[in-house]
Structure 1
Amino acid sequence: MIKAQFESLNPKSHASFLVNSFKLESFTVPYHFHPEFELTLIVRGRGKRYVGKNMGDFEDGDLVFLGSDLPHSWKSEDVTEPGGYVQSIVVQFERNFLGTEFFNKPELANINNLFKISAYGIRYLDKTTENISSQMKLLAQEENAFRKMQMLLDILENLAISREYILLDQDGMVAQQLNSNKERINAALGYIVDNFRNEILLNKVAGIVNMSPNAFCKYFKKVTNKTFMDTVIDYRINFAIRQLLSTDKPVSEIAMESGFGDVSHFYKIFKRNMKMSPLNYRKNFQKGL
């Protein structure tokens, strides 16, 4: 898959929002987006999480709330233990699933503010994650539609009043785009997410967004304040850093797995970005353990 996909969600006729529990061999859903808000709990699994321009590691208990049209994907680690599985609970709903003015009521001001912040992608931490995880597991098991709705509102209020979180797409690049721009920039980011570990072709991504390579480069720089290739390098360095810190793989192998075709080039780019060599970066981290 080479671009962020638009996903059409269709709640069942007797429900105004979706609650799904997935148990799979691995998370392989491509980088995608949809107008619905999404709350995702990773019950079991580990790998890389992509939200907007952010890439991070995820593991059991990862809890993230996403705003409308914010592109995202959870991708499992390459190696899965025999007989292993991953599991998640995903809640999806439209902004107006309870009516156009429902969340504008003063009693729901906290949730209304939550919806605004979610445009940046919110990852919850500590006690909030523990409490909401328990609530979501009960929500997934609940069969009564009215009680299900009450439980969702409770969850949203608890998320809204929590201060135990970090924003994922902190520069808000995706959140700040006009709706007319979102599909184009999401497609470009999707190409990077799915291809940064391989050869990146400017003509390919320019074709995906129906622009000439020169026009695309100018457009991408205007929207993101970075060149297309600098953004690709950011993803590659980020991936390499996580491999340096979480594995004992040799630097040469990490360089290749991160999309750098030449080890010496990797050393040069890494030192330029991180102000030290990959080996020193790993040693400094290990000293701090």
Structure 2
Amino acid sequence: MEITTFELLVKRIAPPPADPSVARRVVQGYFLTIANLEDRDFTYQLEFHVSRPNPVDPDRTLTGNAFVAIDIAGENTKLALTEVMPSPVTPVFTTRFRLPAKQTASVQLLPDLTRPGLLDEANPDVEIRGFVRLRLPALRRGVVLRPQSDRPVKVLLNPEVRGTFLPNDLTARGGDFDQINYPLELASGKGLNEVEPDRGFFPIDPVIVAEVAGDRPVLPDLINPPMIDLSLLSPTARAEVLAETLAQVDPSAENLSTVSDLLSKLEIPIRMEPTNR
């Protein structure tokens, strides 16, 4: 489900040629308060769909400019922020977190002020915007990814923007700090929402395929093959990965029969047969 738009900033409140002595810098982040209203724990996934300018500008992407943290009832804990769908138009970054039953968390997408030289720049220009999507991803259960629930999951959502105005001289004692915060309108128009669980499917992993198919690997000579989490890919990309993987199968009648039996057990409507050339 789509939640809101977002905007991260590290820049002066007025661009040059405004007088930098009065145009203070603002650091702005995105905060999402989310409550799990169910009686069991769930793993949630946030997707940040970023608008990319043309030409490419390193100050307009989350890569190297932002991080994600979560706080349930203690200190902030950093979460992984991964670009999963490179695109010339809308790059997608994801993060996952587990939220216990009846618990409320603050998830924060913040500018990374540890970027070398960022706060020393006379006119920093980090400005990143896009929209946020919340998902209930399918999770691995044995050799397949299965839905976490057989029905929509209830959550309470409260998104907001928080910003801090920094003094021009950060080394001085005291300083002129001010803060702002304001709520963002939810796409659903309400705080109480239901998240539809992602459907399950079979993840392409040659090691698992070999284990299920028997003692003879279907895809030989692969050492520590990478796991491809299809839940992070579009339907078209999933089909491409499946086709590319199946194309690597040794096309002997025995192998093709083994793969067909495996796909049938996993309820994938594909059957492979040898062809006469």
Place the TM-score, normalised by the shorter chain, in its bin.
Answer: under 0.3
- Which has the higher Rg, Structure 1 or Structure 2? 2
Normalised to the residue count of structure 2, the TM-score between the two structures is 0.27
- TM-score, normalization by structure 1: 0.26
Between the two structures, name the one with larger relative contact order (CA 8 Å, sep ≥ 6): 2
